[in-house]
Amino acid sequence: MADLSVILFDLDDTLFDHGTAVRAGVAAHRAAHGGAIAAADEASEFARWTALEEHHYHRYLGGELPFLDMRRERARGFVEPYGLDLTDDAAADDWFGRYVLEYRAAWVLHDDTLPLLDRLAGLRLGIITNAERAFQVDKLETTGILDRFEHIVASGEVGVVKPDARIFEHAARLFGVPTDSCMYVGDRLATDALGAIDAGMHGVWIDRPGRATDADRELAGSRGARVIRSLDELAAGERTL
């Protein structure tokens, strides 16, 4: 293994607790509607929102939808059973914007994020995220960790999304290092860990929920991807990069 000089991270559900914020945001936004949408079962509605997020996020990753259209389609799909019309883009943007206010109010880091960043103090750190830069920088500023990172690479600014090798290569160029001296840590096996490996980096998949199947682990192992359950597992060796 080449000597590592840079550690790069995904943001959502890797350092930042996106799942908790989404759950809180969906619940609060539903409550603000009143009526049937507020009275519906919380668990099933959260599951439905999450499924819509995953579906349209992958359409965005595949280049089928721009970022804003991804959000609009999620909003439209969620309210459709309640007869709400968000056909107009402005109406969909307004609805999603009000959800984002509730989502933003619940922004928090994972419990293991700050301890890890403290242990990695002095190392060169960065972010590669599939999102709009301003929105992700806002998360980093609000949670107090923006100054921990030398570079923030966002797909909305670069014009390509993970797992495209070009976004990983772009990050390495910003740091002025070869890709094989970079480690990338993210919560998606294919998009993050394997995407990084395909670009020549060392890929780490953080599987916080423990949902990895035997097939997932076999694939990760065959491609050289490390699988962890917590950022605490990085602390043992990465400080000596």
Q: Which of 89, 105, 121 is the last residue of a domain?
A: 105
Residue 29 makes CB contacts below 8 A (sequence gap 6+) with: 98, 99, 102
Question: Would you state the structure tokens that stand for residue 13, as one six-digit string?
Answer: 């559900």
CA dist list (Å): 173 to 104, 123, 129, 162, 183:
32, 17, 16, 16, 14
Domain containing 219 equals 6-17+108-238
Global confidence as pTM? 0.90
Instruction: List pLDDT tens digits, range 184-208.
Output: 999 999 999 999 999 999 999 999 9
Q: Nearest CA to 188 among 169, 161, 158?
A: 161
Give the distance, in angstroms, between the CA of residue 120 and the centroid of all CA atoms in the same chain: 21
Above 50 in pLDDT, residue 241?
no
Number of structural domains in the chain: 2
Judge whether 76 lies within some domain.
Answer: yes
Above 70 in pLDDT, residue 112?
yes
Asked if 115 and 202 sit in the same domain, the reply is: yes
What is 13-46 written as a DSSP string? Answer: TTTB-HHHHHHHHHHHHHHHH-HHHHHS-HHHHH
Instruction: List pLDDT tens digits, range 149-161.
Output: 999 999 989 999 9
Half-sphere exposure of 228 (CA within 13 A, CB side): 19
Q: Which 8-state DSSP code applies to residue 124?
A: E
For residue 147, give the CATH number of its domain: 3.40.50.1000
Distance (Å, whole) CA 171 – CA 141 = 20
How confident is the model at residue 235, as a pLDDT? 67
Distance (Å, whole) CA 211 – CA 88 = 38
